[in-house]
Amino acid sequence: VDHTHADAILALTNREDGLTITKEALGPDVIVLPYVTPGFKLALAAARALDDHPEAWGMVWSHHGIVTWGETAQESYDMMIRLVARAEQYLGATQTKSAAALPVKKLSVSAESKVREALDDRLARVAPVVRGLLAERTGDCDHPYRRVVLQTLTGPEIRAALGTPGARDTFVNPVLTTDHLIRTKALPLLVEGVDLDDPESLRPRLEAAVQTYCDEYQDYVNRHQADLPKGMQPFGLQPRVVLIPGLGALCAGVDLRDAAIARDIAKQTLAVKASVAACGVHYQGLPEAELFRMEYRTLQHAKLQRSDAAPLRGHVALVTGAAGAIGTGICEGLLKAGCLVAGTDLPGAALDDLVKAMGRGFPGRIIGVPLDVTDPASVASAFDEVVRTWGGIDLVVPNAGVAMVAPLTDLTLEGYRKLEQVNVEGTLIVLAEAARLFKRQATGGDIVLVSTKNVFAPGANFGAYSSTKAAAHQLARIASLELACDDVRVNMVSPDAVFSHGTCRSGLWAEVGPDRMKARGLDEAGLEAYYQSRNLLKVRVTAEHVANGVLFFATRQTPTTGATIPIDGGLPDSTPR
């Protein structure tokens, strides 16, 4: 037995006179049932229909899908393909020229590139605003919003469909099948009249549209309150699918998996409804009362129960210097906590290897984004790429840094400026870009700077590193003052002597290690042992420890900003004062 929600079948049943049309399209050997509530009632209706028509090859359930069967799996599958193909042929033959889907104009490569570039810019501007507006308020001061992940549909076919006259009548109507309700709700939000190139008017227009949707959804819940199962809480009021002419569809879920499901359903739904319209008839959904009963059916909600809920589920993090030892450890820690992670670093094998290695354990949840922290355009471009991928960013970890060994008497301005560019200017550029994005998103955010024990206890011959990292640390403290009004918390972790993470060796220690080994007459193992023995706890500090410090702040265990956690095993000279 095979069962699908085939597009062509739903395009036949979900319209005026759907029963008659479906029987005409598929022939007398296929049973066509009117809509019956899925479950035991539908099972009984199907059994009775099959008893009455034992010669049938398949059965269509209106507003639901199609079932086929056979003596073997192959026979059942072949019958499914045959019947769906019949439906597709019927639709193709009955579509009218005037109502046919708009053809997508073919563009030259250069013109298509310009269109794609403009679209990417629009998406980077719009997505964070939409993501913020779709976040549900929780009433928890530490976690004030239940954030969402966005997945988008911005292809030329989608944009053409949303740009047709009558798009509201075509697409703003109920779901194809009741299984979709818990993923997309009954109706999408179509936002018309948005000037995508005017940042000033963008938020007010989107905000008003989302608020209207929320008000109408609350009214819908109120109308059917008597049918809400005892103890069941209604969904948040926000839409799950937002349609914006000129841009496409933005689909939301509590995590990447749910957002991808909503996107796939939206893609199917738009295609089916466009197909119905192309036949010159009106789409017909189920009555509101039945939609509500199915949206809040206990068995449907059981599908949403997840045993793997993680503390950073639905959160997006950007980590700079991700390909180094500490960066790799932080990325892994965030992924284990349920976060989506954009690992950024200079382009090359190290970044590629990071994404490949982490992708094996966390498929689809990490991307690599080339980024040069000293270049504002590169930083802005990297942030935009993450926004286009997942809708926004919630956590930024400025970790990129470089070191050099030289006494002050030998320290050249040229050498010092190289460190200053990365450690100070790079931190400033990343902090500023994060602040701008968090402002647009309007759901708060977290920044955790990877500082160093050298801020509090600088080392001889390490003046360039110690002073530039101290400047970066001070910038983060200032950011904690300036960004608190937007509920952006800025904190620091201050590690010491992290030599590696797995097979990833620390670039800093590749620079510093030889001088330290020579000064103390030690080999590499001896140097690591020396740093372990000098802390009070006599422990080896690892990148995993640093990741745990980042997670403490990122999960907001306490109402804290502007603070530093030393991750050094206990070094009295470097304890923050």
Q: What is the mean pLDDT of the chain?
A: 93
Residue 349 and residue 292 in one domain: no
- Would residue 525 count as lying in a domain? yes
Model's pTM, two decimal places?
0.93
Q: How far apart are CA 403 and CA 395, in angstroms?
A: 25
Number of structural domains found in the chain: 3
Q: How far is C-alpha 28 from the chain's CA centre?
A: 47
Residue 415 and residue 519 in one domain: yes
**Which of 94, 123, 142 is the endpoint of a domain?**
94
Specify the amino acid at residue 479: A
The tens-digit pLDDT sequence of the chain (577 residues) is 999 999 999 999 999 999 999 999 999 999 999 999 999 999 999 999 999 999 999 999 999 999 999 999 999 999 999 999 999 999 999 987 444 444 456 666 777 788 889 999 999 999 999 999 999 999 999 999 999 999 999 999 999 999 999 999 999 999 999 999 999 999 999 999 999 989 889 999 999 999 999 999 999 999 999 999 999 999 999 999 999 999 999 999 999 999 999 999 999 999 999 999 999 999 999 999 999 999 999 999 998 887 677 999 999 999 999 999 999 999 999 999 999 999 999 999 999 999 999 999 999 999 999 999 999 999 999 999 999 999 999 999 999 999 999 999 999 999 999 999 999 999 999 999 999 999 999 999 999 999 999 999 998 899 999 999 999 999 999 999 999 999 999 999 999 989 888 887 777 767 776 777 777 788 888 888 888 989 999 999 999 999 999 999 999 999 999 999 999 999 988 876 5
Residue 477 and residue 560 in one domain: yes
Q: How far apart are CA 541 and CA 199, in angstroms?
A: 46
- Structure tokens, 170: 């075509």
**Which of 271, 302, 333 is the endpoint of a domain?**
302
- Structure tokens, 81: 């393909």
**Which of 272, 302, 332 is the endpoint of a domain?**
302
Residue 141 and residue 221 in one domain: yes
Q: How far is C-alpha 170 from the chain's CA centre?
A: 28
Contact 343, 501 (CB under 8 A): no
Q: How far apart are CA 399 and CA 464, in angstroms?
A: 17
Residue 295 and residue 355 in one domain: no
Residue 220 and residue 331 in one domain: no
- Structure tokens, 96: 């009218």
- Would residue 506 count as lying in a domain? yes
Hey, CA dihedral for 51, 55, 57, 59, is it positive or negative?
Answer: negative
pLDDT tens-digit series, residues 356-374: 999 999 999 999 999 999 9
Residue 59 and residue 165 in one domain: no
Q: How far apart are CA 419 and CA 22, in angstroms?
A: 71
Q: At what angle do helices 507-520 and 524-534 cross, to 10 degrees?
A: 90
- Would residue 228 count as lying in a domain? yes
Domain that holds residue 493: 316-571
Domain CATH number, residue 59: 3.40.225.10
Strand partners of residue 4: 66
- Would residue 393 count as lying in a domain? yes
- pLDDT of 358 reads 97
Contact 465, 404 (CB under 8 A): yes
- Would residue 508 count as lying in a domain? yes
DSSP for 152-212 reads EE--HHHHHHHTSTTHHHHHSS--SSGGGHHHH-S-PEE--S--TT-HHHHHHHHHHHHHH
3-state secondary structure of 32: strand
User: Could you report how far apart the first and last alpha carbons of the chain are, in Å?
Assistant: 70
- Would residue 79 count as lying in a domain? yes
Residue 519 and residue 434 in one domain: yes
- Would residue 267 count as lying in a domain? yes
Residue 373 and residue 515 in one domain: yes
Residue 479 and residue 507 in one domain: yes
pLDDT tens-digit series, residues 256-293: 999 999 999 999 999 999 999 999 999 999 999 999 99
- Structure tokens, 54: 């034992």
Domain CATH number, residue 368: 3.40.50.720
Q: How far apart are CA 319 and CA 354, in angstroms?
A: 12
3-state secondary structure of 246: coil
- Would residue 294 count as lying in a domain? yes
pLDDT tens-digit series, residues 289-342: 999 999 999 999 998 887 677 999 999 999 999 999 999 999 999 999 999 999
Task: Please name which of 519, 498, 518 lies closest in space to residue 508, comparing C-alpha atoms.
Answer: 498
Residue 397 and residue 524 in one domain: yes
Domain CATH number, residue 156: 3.40.225
Residue 351 and residue 383 in one domain: yes
Give the Å distances, CA to CA, from 482 to 63, 373, 431, 432, 457: 54, 21, 11, 11, 27
